[in-house]
């Protein structure tokens, strides 16, 4: 069994702007090193994944998504995904944040695992900055 104290060294490539933003945050938060910040970010990613895995049963939910509409083909892909899941998507609202960035709010209702699939399909597209899924059980 591999434990948390055994360290593996990895090399990753990141867009410069992403790294600059990350460094800014870990400086503000007072991390001793970039590695510690990255370890925490990965733990948060895993926790978020596990939390999303718990989304089950009949749910009402909202997806908040920010994306770059100048990314080639992205708007069509996002629209196709939403049509694929038309049976759980009730409505969507689009707001043009800046010339390039868009904010979209999608209202959903259906099986939690399906709602999660919609969020995962959307967040894996290049040019999508963030996707957040919030749900509540229909039976309180």
Least separation, in Å, of the C-beta of 88 and Ni ion? 23
Q: Per DSSP, what are the bridge partners of residue 59? A: 110, 137
Least separation, in Å, of the C-beta of 30 and Ni ion? 37
**Is residue 62 within 8 Å of residue 119, measured between CB atoms?**
no
Least separation, in Å, of the C-beta of 66 and Ni ion? 10
The residue to which tokens 């702007």 are assigned: 17
Least separation, in Å, of the C-beta of 94 and Ni ion? 6
Q: Which stretch binds Ni ion (CB under 5 A): 14-22, 37-45, 92-100, 128-136?
A: 92-100
Q: Which stretch binds Ni ion (CB under 5 A): 37-45, 60-68, 79-87, 95-103?
A: 95-103
102 scored as a contact of Ni ion (CB under 5 A): yes
What is the Cα Rg of the chain in Å?
A: 18
133 scored as a contact of Ni ion (CB under 5 A): no
100 scored as a contact of Ni ion (CB under 5 A): no
78 scored as a contact of Ni ion (CB under 5 A): no
User: Which residue of 96, 100, 124, 136 would you call a contact of Ni ion, by CB under 5 A?
Assistant: 96
Contacts with Ni ion by CB under 5 A lie at 96, 102
């Amino acid at each position: 069994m591999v434990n948390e104290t055994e360290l593996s060294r990895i090399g990753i490539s990141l867009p410069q702007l992403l790294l600059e933003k990350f460094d800014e945050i870990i400086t503000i938060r007072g991390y001793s090193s970039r590695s510690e910040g990255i370890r925490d970010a990965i733990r948060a990613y895993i926790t978020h994944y596990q939390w999303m895995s718990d989304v089950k049963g009949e749910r009402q939910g909202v997806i908040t998504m920010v994306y770059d509409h100048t990314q080639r083909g992205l708007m069509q892909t996002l629209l196709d995904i939403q049509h694929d899941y038309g049976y759980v998507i009730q409505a969507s609202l689009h707001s043009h944040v800046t010339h390039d960035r868009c904010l979209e709010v999608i209202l959903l209702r259906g099986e939690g695992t399906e709602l999660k699939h919609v969020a995962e399909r959307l967040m894996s597209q290049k040019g999508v900055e963030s996707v957040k899924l919030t749900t509540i059980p229909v039976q309180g």
